[in-house]
Amino acid sequence: MVALLPLTAMAIGGAGGACPAHLFVIERSKNANIVVYDANLGPEGDFVSSKPVIVYWLLDGDRDRRQKLTRMEQDHAYGVVATPGNASGTYAMAFKALRKRHLTARMLNGCPVVTTSIGGQEGILRRLFVQSKEGAKLPKVEYVEIFGETVDTGAPLYEKFVPGK
């Protein structure tokens, strides 16, 4: 498994001092490239409504080697759809590759977060790990591990998702 980027970097200031550098990341078994999901915040510190989340690659996990997703990656694999949520300042999100996994981008204690159900509990999404193997044309996902923490206490949450099961 690839070493995860430190999530405590002071990239965004919050009520408690530091917010995680990224909303969440996707690591993959295929290589050390990491898909990063960052909050797109306006001058007032709220989500930019036209594009609340920015998605890009960090090649080999190197912060200085950033690259845009290809159109195919954006449309079929790692892209997200974000629409205004039910509560003010929130955005309902879904991965384009897995629309039934509902996500919510929102502010929590002055920090942008993405929440979702993880192991049957509502939690803050921090990281996904995708185990795949090469197929004839496209990689085949064997499983996805979902890591996060509870909203109230910060206790770790974990879920293993096997597509098709």
> For residue 115, what pLDDT band results from cuts at 50, 70 and 90?
very high
- How large is the average pLDDT for residues 32-39? 96
- What per-residue confidence (pLDDT) applies to 17? 56
**Per-residue pLDDT, 112:** 97
107 in Cβ contact with 114 (< 8 Å) = no
Structural domain boundaries in the chain: 21-161
Q: b/e for 60-93, b at 16 or more Cβ within 10 A? A: ebeeeeeeeeeeebeeebbbbebeebeeeebbeb
**Could you tell me what percent of the chain has a pLDDT over 70?**
90
Has residue 157 got a pLDDT over 60? yes
pLDDT of residue 140: 86
Q: State residue 12's pLDDT score.
A: 41
CA-to-CA distance for 148 and 59, rounded, in angstroms? 23
Over the chain, what is the mean pLDDT? Answer: 87
Rounded Cα gap, residues 120 and 32, in angstroms:
29
Neighbours of 19 (CB within 10 A): 24
For the cut 70, the answer to whether the pLDDT of residue 14 exceeds it is no
Question: How confident is the model over 74-90, as pLDDT tens digits?
Answer: 998 899 999 999 999 99
Residue 2: the pLDDT is: 37
Mean pLDDT value of segment 100-128 = 95
Give me the percent of the chain exceeding a pLDDT of 90.
Answer: 70
**Which DSSP helix (H) or strand (E) runs through 75?**
helix 71-76
Whether 78 and 55 have beta carbons less than 8 Å apart is answered as yes
The residue with tokens 């509502």 is: 122
